[in-house]
């Protein structure tokens, strides 16, 4: 499975941890959220009903695309020798079971930062050693110290895979819009198609398409990119930011015109300022004219 970080959030199950790494887990959850991933974890493990808590964990685990298991110095249950697993062990075992089943694309990330020094508990050392020596398919072990670096590694793995080759064509303007704005977008496209060579892309959030790669490939064939929005500003702003980063940022060879309808009140506060990006909020009826003016100024 190749994920498209323009339109789909990766669902990450963050497993329970021992008390000594609770702060690290909280830091990781924040970084995952800022990275655009959806975090799945119970509000608290201090539930009066242990069975209910376990069921909630299982449900969340089976909704996730991957899981993260942070190893501290207190992973083992005091009763482990009697056959009772700690929550840390139990959730890892359950994730491994899912990994070996029909969930071929499921990933397990084991995070054991270098700065976490093992204590003298030989049982715990054995537990960590067993994990490191028993890495299976789709399991990734990391000793990164930084939560940011660890999440970047996660992104690389989850967004990896051989890019799909799309049928891209030369175009004067590459016009991108959300399917929810289809009617108004098609009116603009109809007016522009008579005067420029235009290639359009309608983003359908539920579609199983790697839009990130499609956009990156088509931009290379286009003189200008237009990201248009009317009622979809909540989609458009993160989308254009990702497009800008994906295509080289300030060093991108193609200018992006980020343009929205000023008749929609929610759009008044939407703005993205960056090199190679032109951000405009204007009335719907003159958007086609503005696009043509911006295009003409670029090719002169």
pLDDT digits (tens, 9 = 90+) for 204-248: 877 767 787 788 889 989 999 999 999 999 999 988 988 888 787
Entry pTM: 0.52
Three-class DSSP labels, 85-106: CCHHHHHHHHHHHHHHCCCCCC
Rounded to 5°, the CA angle 180-183-189 comes to 115
* Same structural domain, 85 and 201: no
- Residue 282 host element (H or E): strand 277-282
* Same structural domain, 97 and 150: yes
* Same structural domain, 213 and 268: yes
Identify the CATH number of the domain in which residue 184 sits.
3.40.50.10140
Write out the residue range of the structural domain in which residue 34 sits: 11-158
Per residue in 10-45, pLDDT tens?
Answer: 899 999 888 888 999 999 999 998 888 899 986 655
**How many structural domains are present in the chain?**
2
State the pLDDT confidence band at 117, using cuts at 50, 70 and 90: low
- 163 within some domain: no
* Same structural domain, 23 and 101: yes
- 164 within some domain: no
Which residue, 158, 190, 225, sits at the end of a domain? Answer: 158
Beta-sheet strands, E only, within 57-186? 66-70, 107-111, 139-142, 171-178
* Same structural domain, 275 and 197: yes
Region of residue 275 (left: phi > 0; alpha: psi -120 to 50; beta: else): beta
Percent of the chain's residues with pLDDT above 90: 41
- 166 within some domain: no
- 1 within some domain: no
* Same structural domain, 113 and 134: yes
* Same structural domain, 134 and 251: no
Which residue, 158, 182, 213, sits at the end of a domain? Answer: 158
- What is the β-pairing status of strands 38-40 and 222-229? unpaired
* Same structural domain, 287 and 243: yes
* Same structural domain, 130 and 180: no
* Same structural domain, 132 and 225: no
């Amino acid at each position: 499975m190749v994920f498209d970080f323009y339109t789909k959030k990766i669902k990450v199950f963050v497993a329970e941890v021992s008390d000594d790494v609770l702060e690290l887990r909280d830091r990781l959850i924040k970084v995952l959220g800022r990275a655009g991933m959806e975090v799945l974890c119970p509000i608290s493990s201090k539930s009066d009903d242990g069975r209910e808590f376990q069921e909630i964990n299982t449900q969340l685990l089976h909704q996730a695309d991957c899981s993260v298991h942070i190893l501290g110095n207190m992973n083992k249950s005091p009763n482990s020798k009697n056959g009772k697993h700690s929550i840390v062990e139990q959730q890892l075992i359950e994730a491994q079971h899912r990994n070996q089943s029909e969930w071929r694309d499921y990933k397990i990330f084991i995070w054991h930062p270098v700065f976490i020094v093992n204590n003298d508990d030989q049982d715990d050392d054995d537990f960590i050693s067993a994990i490191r020596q028993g890495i299976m398919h789709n399991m990734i072990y990391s000793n990164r110290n930084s939560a940011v670096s660890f999440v970047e590694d996660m992104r690389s793995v989850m967004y990896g895979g051989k890019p799909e080759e799309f049928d891209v064509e030369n175009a004067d303007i590459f016009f991108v819009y959300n399917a929810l704005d289809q009617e108004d977008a098609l009116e603009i496209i109809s007016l522009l198609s008579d005067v420029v060579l235009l290639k359009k892309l309608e983003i359908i959030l539920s579609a199983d398409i790697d839009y990130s790669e499609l956009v990156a490939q088509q931009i290379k064939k286009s003189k200008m990119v237009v990201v248009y929005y009317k009622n979809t500003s909540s989609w458009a702003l993160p989308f254009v930011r990702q497009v800008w980063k994906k295509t080289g940022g300030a060093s991108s060879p193609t200018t992006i015109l980020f343009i929205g309808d000023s008749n929609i009140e929610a759009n008044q506060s939407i703005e993205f300022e960056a090199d190679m990006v032109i951000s405009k909020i204007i009335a719907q009826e003159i958007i086609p004219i503005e696009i043509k003016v911006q295009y003409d100024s670029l090719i002169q």
